[in-house]
Amino acid sequence: MDDIRLLIDFGSTFTKVVAVDLDKVEVVATARVPSTVESDITVGLGEALKKIEVNTGIGDLEEREALACSSAAGGLRMVCAGFVPELTSKAANQAALGAGAKVTGCYSHKLTRQEIKEIEVTAPDIVLLSGGTDGGDEKVIIHNAKMVSRTGNAVPNIIIAGNKTAYDEIRAIFSDNSKNVLYTRNVMPEIGVLDVAPCNREIRELFMKNIIEAKGIARAKSIIKDVIMPTPSAVLEAARLIADGYEGAAGFGELIVIDVGGATTDVHSIAQGKPAQADTVVTGLPEPYEKRTVEGDLGLKYNLDRLLELVRGRETPPNFDTIVQGFHEGKLPLTDEEKACHRLLSCLTVEVAMSRHAGRIEVVYGPTGERLVQHGKDLTHVKIVIGTGGPIIFSGSCHEILEHVLFREEDPFSLKPENPRFYVDEQYVLYAVGLLSQVEPDKALNIARKYLKQI
């Protein structure tokens, strides 16, 4: 019997399974069934596995070794609260995004009662508190800890990742509190230093231990081995592996992954992002080498209204308004006219998401002349862009859509890739590569090499 590994993604609409033959480095079967997380996650999982069993002849043995990621039941929802918006709040936000979370709120300075009410309504899986460099400001994080300690059951998990000097006092605040409070290293221990890895690990651990339990996802463990990370995190793991390679095996080098979905669009860049021009000064918080941004207002199914605002003033295909109304009602693009409309919306999504992810150059005029200041990452020299997500994969015009990530002469200050090669994740294997990278990184890399198609 070949060594077959099952890799599963519990999405909010579909449960997807990929079966990979590790010896032959081959995808032997895939299945996609509607999610049943609202009632009983194991029902949909069972159905999907049955399809795979028929096609491959695998059985319980493989199923018990299967690994999964999940974005079902709202994904991993987090609220971040720090002190200064462009410093510790931003650092906390980066940590949450890097751990695959959906950030439902990001607050700065001392939290008010009104904001606490908002947070309770949002009911996030985790509240992440940062604030102060080590030895710096303690007042804000202590105040915020007090405020959060008074919230009800809507806020079950709290991670503290701020000024360590404040921890003793914060521990005292939570001493007779039923909340699950975890303490980790400061996400910004000193000015100019971003240290999100320890916080990322805490988040993932919490996700595996508590959050999937609370969402009913953990039931899947009666059939498979474990649900080990949120789906966006699996995609980021895959992106890193493909870029950096593993031990002897070289990767693709610096790259960008753009993942267009129904509700959001994710952009991952695995790149240093240093200025291409020597005389540029970089300002602001250092950017993570593995950076993820999520555009919560850009999705091809749930966020059409926002997209339509962006369409205004552009040339649209015939019957655009009526056709988009159909998308609103859940119709998928089938005719050429419909596809043209969907393509336009996908192109726009990619363009806007890439512009927001990429850094910008600002020309500052001062007494001694002009100076170039870079905010964010310079991605002009990134040579690889990988597209994934239904709207790209099934569009039939991946290249045209992905071209919208490109640097444009009309907007020379946006540091988008100038001359990359495009790849498409045709078989939806990226999340599977990310999951597999945790146990068989060399084979995961080979799967990626084989199934990412250059276009």
Which residues contact other proteins by CB under 8 A?
83-84, 86-88, 131-133, 135-139, 188, 190-191, 281, 283, 364, 366-368, 371
Long-range CB contacts for residues 49-57, cutoff 8 Å, separation at least 24: 49/6, 49/17, 49/223, 51/17, 52/6, 52/17, 52/19, 55/19, 55/28, 55/29, 56/4, 56/19, 56/28, 56/29
The residue (of 57 and 192) whose beta carbon lies closer to other proteins is 192
Shortest Å, Cβ 357 to other proteins: 23
The residue (of 131 and 230) whose beta carbon lies closer to other proteins is 131
| Element holding 128 (H helix, E strand) | strand 126-129
Shortest Å, Cβ 415 to other proteins: 20
Shortest Å, Cβ 126 to other proteins: 22
Taking only Cα atoms into account, the Rg of the chain, rounded to an integer number of angstroms, comes to: 22
Shortest Å, Cβ 107 to other proteins: 15
The residue (of 186 and 446) whose beta carbon lies closer to other proteins is 186
The residue (of 309 and 365) whose beta carbon lies closer to other proteins is 365
The residue (of 285 and 402) whose beta carbon lies closer to other proteins is 285
Cα distances (angstroms) measured from residue 73 to each of 217, 259, 281, 284, 294: 8, 19, 43, 35, 18
Shortest Å, Cβ 355 to other proteins: 24
C-alpha to C-alpha distance for 13 and 73, rounded to whole angstroms: 10
Shortest Å, Cβ 167 to other proteins: 15
444 Cβ neighbours under 8 A, 6+ residues apart: 238, 241, 246, 433, 434, 436, 437
The residue (of 125 and 138) whose beta carbon lies closer to other proteins is 138
The residue (of 332 and 364) whose beta carbon lies closer to other proteins is 364
CA 444 to chain centre: 19
The residue (of 139 and 274) whose beta carbon lies closer to other proteins is 139
Burial category of 39 from C-beta neighbours within 10 Å (exposed 0-12, middle 13-18, buried 19 and up): exposed
Q: Which pair of tokens denotes residue 119?
A: 């947070």
The residue (of 137 and 337) whose beta carbon lies closer to other proteins is 137
Shortest Å, Cβ 194 to other proteins: 13
Q: What are phi and psi of 3, to 5 degrees?
A: -85, 100
Shortest Å, Cβ 412 to other proteins: 22
The residue (of 366 and 412) whose beta carbon lies closer to other proteins is 366
Shortest Å, Cβ 89 to other proteins: 10
Residue among 82, 171, 166 nearest 127 (CA): 82
Decide the pairing of beta strands 180-183 and 77-81. Answer: unpaired
Angle of helix 231-244 relative to helix 441-451, nearest 10 degrees? 90
Shortest Å, Cβ 292 to other proteins: 24
Decide the pairing of beta strands 249-250 and 245-246. Answer: antiparallel
C-alpha to C-alpha distance for 391 and 382, rounded to whole angstroms: 23
C-alpha to C-alpha distance for 433 and 7, rounded to whole angstroms: 9
Q: Which pair of tokens denotes residue 53?
A: 């069993």
